[in-house]
Amino acid sequence: MKISGNTIFIPGSTSGIGLALALALRAEGNTVIIGGRRAELLEQIAAEHPGIDTVRIDTADAASIDAAAKEVLARHPDLNVLVTMAGIMRIEDWREPESFLASAESVITTNVLGPIRLIAAFIRHLRAQPDATIVTVSSGLAFAPLKITPSYNASKAAIHMLSESIRLQLADTSVQIVELEPPAVRTSLLPGQEDSEFAMPLDEFVAEVVALLQERPDAKEIQVERVKFLRYGEMRGDYDQVVETLNASDPHGKS
């Protein structure tokens, strides 16, 4: 993915990694469209950052995705990058179905069906572009599990394998598949994570991501240094120690 000159749609980017990455990519010379559910928040972002376009979208709703895609493409026919950023994370207890079933269904709908539906809504358009990219967003937890978030871990593992698979199918097209693999980052994804000493500062994460995109425009996976501990545990042969360390150090793990 080239670092500048793109037109980029990032649904799920009204806060956290999505918003910070949107602003950083705009600063690199890209046209950026932010997507989110809350109209008032989108209006605030547009007012604070002139030049950023906004579109209402609920990535858990198939009809909303289709409507937003039509709106984005009507206003930005040169769109060539889709970042499937939207995602939710829930603490679950799988010993009783009442404590996890509804949560798990919600997580899978947003984190797995959401990106699938987004790709379906844009893939024909992206294939028609001379140079296009789909950025999927998995997680370090796709490769080592945090015990309190089973559905989230599974959803991100699914996104990793989906990315690997569609990269093969799209190899003869103009569409590049890039998988972004965040570690724990200081956002509101889980309660308390914004202030967690175990999570990576948001500005540092985004700065490293942008630097990696600049250095390796052909990269298949974007991995900041801090995620490699989780990503390569099995390859290094210390997977069990990685899982133990991850669950011992997480501030939510003892709750």
What's the pLDDT tens digit per position in 163-201? 999 999 999 999 999 999 999 999 988 888 888 888 999
Whether 134 maps to a domain, the answer reads yes
Which residue range forms the structural domain that includes residue 239? 7-249
Q: Which residues are catalytic?
A: 152
Over residues 145-155, the pLDDT tens digits come to 999 999 999 99
Strand duo 7-11 + 221-222: pairing: unpaired
Note whether 10 and 68 are within 8 A (CB): no
What count of other Cβ atoms lies within 10 Å of the Cβ of residue 39?
Answer: 10
Examine residue 145 and state whether it is found in any structural domain, yes or no. Answer: yes
Residue 253's pLDDT band (cuts 50, 70, 90): very low
Domain assignment present for residue 60? The answer is yes
The number of domains in the chain is 1
- Any domain includes 17: yes
Domain contains 77: yes
End-to-end CA distance of the chain: 41
Residue 172 lies in a domain: yes
**Cβ–Cβ under 8 Å, residues 153 and 145:** yes
213 assigned to some structural domain:
yes
Q: Quick: pLDDT tens for 210-228.
A: 999 999 999 999 999 999 9
The CATH number that applies at residue 190 is 3.40.50.720
Question: Is residue 156 in some structural domain?
Answer: yes
Of the chain, the percentage scoring pLDDT greater than 70 comes to 97
Helix (H, G, I), strand (E, B) or coil at 144: coil
pLDDT score at 254: 36
Euclidean distance between CA atoms 21 and 7, whole angstroms: 14
User: Which are the contacts of 54, defined by CB distance < 8 A and separation ≥ 6?
Assistant: 33, 34, 35, 36, 42, 43, 45, 46
In this structure, which amino acid lies at residue 190? L
3-state DSSP helix/strand/coil % of the chain, to nearest 5: 50, 15, 35
Q: What is the mean pLDDT of residues 71-76?
A: 98
The Cα–Cα gap between 209 and 33 comes to 19
